[in-house]
Structure 1
């Protein structure tokens, strides 16, 4: 488990008086099965911040990388039925890894979070026909291939749709480099 997650778990107990395991039991007793349902329940009924609610939701659903027995399997499951996007994932992952030695890839159930000191990108096989690269450049306007993310709860400020390997262009890599630099 990474240090940041352990700190959050420690602070959860300090802030609420209950351990992570106790909160997971509370969530399980409610029979909540979806991430968003758990977030809403913890925020509205227990005054949780988004960060702590997200931690408990991921741990309760075992949907974070730290709860997975095999992180490679977690990533491979994202591409079941979306196998045509696997070469895109591998190529973009290689390009991002070359940005710096401190790049960390953190698989979740439906995407891979890419972090430095904080998340700067996401690799998302969104549907069978759409692959998205989320990029965090808050305050930057949409420009070129960079679109503003329209979801109100988006974890990245922008996205680039990449459906074919030839769309992994120097412009995309430049946007990723900017996001990486800003996350330092």
Structure 2
């Protein structure tokens, strides 16, 4: 388990008085089986922040990299029915890995979180026709291909939407470099 996740688990217990296992039991008792349902329940009924609710949801559903038996399989499942996006993922992974030796790719059920000390990007095969690259550049305006993320529970401040490998061009790579540098 990475240090950031362990710190969150420790802080969850400090902040709520319950351990991660106790919160997983609460979720199981409620018979919640969808990620969004768990987030809503924990935020509305227990005043969780998005980060803590997301942690508990992933652990309860065993949908994060740390709970999955096979991380490669977790990533491959994301591309079932979206196979045309696999070359995009492979190219982005190669380009992002070249940013530094401290880049970590952490698969979840629906996306791959890209971290340094903190998450700075997300790789998301969102639909069969839309691939999203989430980028964390809080406080930065929308500019060029960089759109502000408007979802209230967004895990990244911005996104870039593409649908072809050729759209992985210098501007996108520059934004990823800036996000990587910002969490250094």
- TM (norm. structure 2) is 0.95
CA contact (8 A) 2:50 2:153 kept: no
Farther-moved stretch of structure 1 (64-73 vs 51-60): 51-60
SS in 1 for 2:129: coil
- CA distance in 2 between counterparts of 1:100 and 1:9 reads 27
C-alpha change, 1:157 and 1:17, in structure 2 (3 Å) is: closer
CA contact (8 A) 2:120 2:183 kept: yes
- TM (norm. structure 1) is 0.95
Paired positions, count? 184
Which structure 1 residue ranges, 4+ long, deviate > 4 Å from structure 2?
Answer: none
Query: What's the offset of the Cα at 1:63?
Result: 1.1
Partner of 1:66: 66
Partner of 1:27: 27
C-alpha change, 1:136 and 1:96, in structure 2 (3 Å) is: same
Q: Which sections of structure 1, spanning at least 5 residues, go unmatched?
A: none
Partner of 2:183: 183
RMSD between aligned residues? 1.2
Farther-moved stretch of structure 1 (49-58 vs 99-108): 49-58
Farther-moved stretch of structure 1 (172-181 vs 44-53): 44-53
Q: Which sections of structure 2, spanning at least 5 residues, go unmatched?
A: none
Query: What's the offset of the Cα at 1:17?
Result: 2.7
CA contact (8 A) 2:75 2:109 kept: yes
